């Protein structure tokens, strides 16, 4: 599921709205804190936050986003001077979030499967670690026995030195393997706080929603990047590995 979508509006409606906005000139800047995409809409070229404005005409209230610095810029690299209509932008974002929320059950099954695999993997790691620790104990016992046998005159000096060197190298290898395996096991256990289960919790929280809300956007979306009204990209709050698992 891509995070980029084209605007949902007819060409005629869009052109008419743009003509109205161009005739507005300087309008009063209104920043209510209740609209769904509050503080989330950024301009794709300059990276600044887009201004949210309203304008009433003939009993109709228009709500839209615009780059406050576009008029000052010239040339092809400047920001787009067109307006992004709020209803259009809300519809784009809601359509993508709805697709995400529809995946809640599938993600739950994937999480359960992943947890089962993780438990099995951790059990195998723990068993291997126990075997290594037993081998290390035997190695230490053999090192003491080597010294005792040499001191008792049961081993000549050359055999004693060779065995001491071999057992020393084995002890070093076992120590390194134990440290590596212990770190893997701790890392696997740390992942249990798992951003996947956290993401699933958020998705379940809004799975029955039937419209876009500010609370929903705040928890799911980092920002909505508008290059122009027809090109919108959603940047999610999920980590990269989470986005791969979910498929967004």
Task: Say if 69 falls within a structural domain.
Answer: yes
Answer yes or no: is 163 within a domain. Answer: yes
Contact 101, 206 (CB under 8 A): yes
* 21 and 98 belong to one structural domain: yes
- pLDDT given for residue 26 in this prediction: 46
Report yes or no on 203 lying in a domain.
no
Domain containing residue 119? 104-198
Q: Cβ atoms within 10 A of the Cβ of 180, count?
A: 12
- 95: which 2 tokens? 């359509």
Taking a C-beta distance cutoff of 8 angstroms, is the pair 65, 11 a contact?
no
Does residue 25 fall inside a structural domain? yes
Q: How far is CA 40 from the centre of its chain?
A: 17
Question: One digit per residue, pLDDT tens: the chain, 248 residues?
Answer: 544 555 455 666 656 665 655 555 444 455 557 899 999 999 988 888 999 999 888 888 889 999 888 777 666 677 878 889 999 999 999 999 998 888 888 877 777 777 676 777 888 888 999 999 999 999 999 999 999 999 999 989 999 999 999 999 999 999 999 999 988 887 766 555 456 777 888 888 999 999 999 999 999 999 999 998 889 999 998 876 566 666 66
Q: How far apart are CA 79 and CA 63, in angstroms?
A: 20
- Whole-number pLDDT of residue 91: 96
Give the count of domains, the chain: 2
Q: Residue 157: which residues within 8 A CB-CB, separation 6 or more?
A: 150
pTM for the full predicted model: 0.59
Q: Do 126 and 158 fall within a single domain?
A: yes
Is 87 in the same domain as 176? no
Looking at residue 225, what is its pLDDT? 95
Same domain, residue pair 151 and 80: no
- Residue 137 domain-assigned (yes or no): yes
| Beta carbons within 10 angstroms of residue 208's beta carbon | 8
Give the span between the Cα atoms of 210 and 201, in whole angstroms.
Answer: 18
Q: Is residue 150 helix, strand or coil?
A: helix
241-246 LR contacts (CB < 8 Å, sep 24+)? 241/195, 242/195, 242/196, 242/199, 245/107, 245/110, 245/196, 246/100, 246/103, 246/107, 246/199
Assess if residue 204 is contained within a domain.
no
């Amino acid at each position: 599921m891509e995070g980029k979508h084209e605007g949902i509006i007819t060409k005629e409606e869009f052109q008419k709205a743009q003509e109205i906005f161009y005739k507005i000139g300087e309008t009063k800047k209104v920043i209510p804190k209740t609209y769904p995409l509050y503080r989330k809409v950024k301009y794709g070229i300059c990276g600044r936050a887009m201004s949210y404005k309203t304008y009433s005409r003939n009993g109709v209230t228009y709500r839209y986003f615009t780059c406050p610095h576009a008029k000052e810029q010239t040339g092809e690299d400047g920001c787009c001077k067109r307006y992004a209509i709020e209803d259009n932008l809300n519809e784009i974002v809601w359509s993508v979030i709805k697709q995400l929320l529809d995946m809640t059950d599938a993600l739950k099954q994937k999480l359960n499967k992943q947890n089962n695999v993780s438990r099995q993997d951790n059990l195998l790691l723990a068993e291997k670690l126990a075997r290594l620790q037993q081998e290390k104990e035997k190695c230490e016992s053999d090192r003491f026995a080597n010294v005792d046998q040499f001191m008792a005159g049961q081993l000549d000096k050359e055999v004693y030195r060779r065995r001491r060197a071999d057992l020393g190298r084995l002890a070093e290898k076992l120590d390194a393997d134990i440290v590596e395996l212990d770190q893997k096991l701790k890392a696997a256990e740390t992942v249990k706080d798992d951003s996947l289960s956290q993401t699933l919790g958020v998705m379940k929280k809004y799975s029955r929603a039937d419209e876009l809300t500010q609370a929903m956007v705040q928890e799911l979306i980092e920002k909505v990047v508008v290059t122009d009204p027809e090109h919108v990209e959603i940047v999610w709050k999920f980590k990269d590995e989470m986005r791969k698992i979910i498929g967004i």
